[in-house]
Structure 1
């Protein structure tokens, strides 16, 4: 199965991508992970990305596509993969189609995680992160700490990260609507899109996603 997972920030793409990839026995390919891996390994593409990001620039489509192409060409992706964060715009979607066609392949499905904008804001703006260990995260409603503002694990102070503030979240949503959301229409014209209501328990969203896949994917 060759799948693209798309949805706004806060829709749970990372969580669902990991669960679906494990269920389907295919690699989860995340753009963010690709950037970090190439930078840490000192690859030529990684050096390009590091230089661009250090100057506050945006990684060009051709660099992102090249990294994704390199990852998809590895042996563990021969039978399929789940893409998370790529393609991010129409140009990248067209480049992906061309890459797959060169190998005699095509996408099997595009899963669109649907979530109301107010729920995105509630989910992200409610996060609180430990200043001592950023892996310790809480939520003012969904997972409140035992003591307000104090990490249950290490006693560190909990803070709201700048990129979790409501105004920042709404800016991220605006960018998503402008740049990424159009790929849903692009893939819908190809008959590939299944919309998955994502305001539900994690296991329920995973079940809905599996059921939306072509029959051979559900049987994996």
Structure 2
């Protein structure tokens, strides 16, 4: 099973990916995790990525695509994988399609968690308040103003992936505002 999760930050992609990972025994592939692993392993592409990051620049699509390709070739991905946070743009999606075709595999589904952005912001405000009330430390990316910026970036760069994948017939949408169990059940129906 080869899946992509789409949806804005805070939509629950990571939560659902973790649940599917446990159910199907396939890895969740996060771009950040893959990048850090390639750098730590000092692979050729990891060294190139580290040089770019050390220079304070963004890692290019070409490097990210190569890291994803290498990771998909890992033995634990033989039964499938869940891509979370990749692709982020239509050019990355096109590169992924070419990469997978070159490996003789294809995506089974692209699951988009549809959410109300105002409700997402309210969720984040509640999470921050609960964290502070419990004496915890609020992560920088959990602050509402950071989420607002990330939502703008999502709308500009990543949201067009919905249209791209709709043309392939692989896009399936789920109400991401439902409770976690309902979302999980709906994804299960899609994958059945």
**TM-fit CA distance, 1:199:** 1.3
User: Greater CA deviation, 35-44 or 189-198?
Assistant: 35-44
Counterpart-to-counterpart distance in 2, 1:203 and 1:60: 37
* Residue 179 of structure 1 pairs with residue 157 of structure 2: yes
Determine if the alignment matches structure 1 residue 200 to structure 2 residue 178.
yes
Structure 1 distance, partners of 2:49, 2:95, is 19
2:56 equivalent to 1:56:
yes
| Residues in 2 aligned to 1:39 and 1:122: alpha-carbon distance in whole angstroms | 36
Deviation string for 1:18-55 (max 9, x for gaps)? 11122122221111110121222222322332333333
Contact 1:149 1:159 in 2 (8 A): no
1:59 is paired with a residue whose SS is coil
The 1:25/1:118 distance shift into structure 2, 3 A limit, reads same
Give, in angstroms, the shift of residue 65 of structure 1: 0.5
- Residue 31 in structure 1 maps to residue 9 in structure 2: no
Cα distance, 1:82 vs. partner? 1.1
Residue 91 (structure 1) aligned with residue 110 (structure 2): no
Q: Which TM-score applies when normalising by structure 1?
A: 0.80
TM-score (normalizing by structure 2): 0.91
Q: Which has the larger radius of gyration?
A: 1
Unaligned runs of 5+ in 1: 129-139, 152-157
Task: Write out aligned runs for 1:1-150 (5 A).
Answer: 1-128=1-128, 140=129, 144=130, 149-150=133-134
Partner of 2:169: 191
Structure 1 window deviating more from structure 2 (196-205 vs 83-92): it is 196-205
1:137 aligned residue: none
C-alpha RMSD of matched pairs (Å) = 1.8
**Residues of 2 paired with 1:93 and 1:150: CA distance?**
41
List gaps (5 residues or longer) in structure 2.
none
Greater RCO, 1 or 2 (C-alpha within 8 Å, sep 6+): 2
CA shift, 1:192, in A, is 0.6
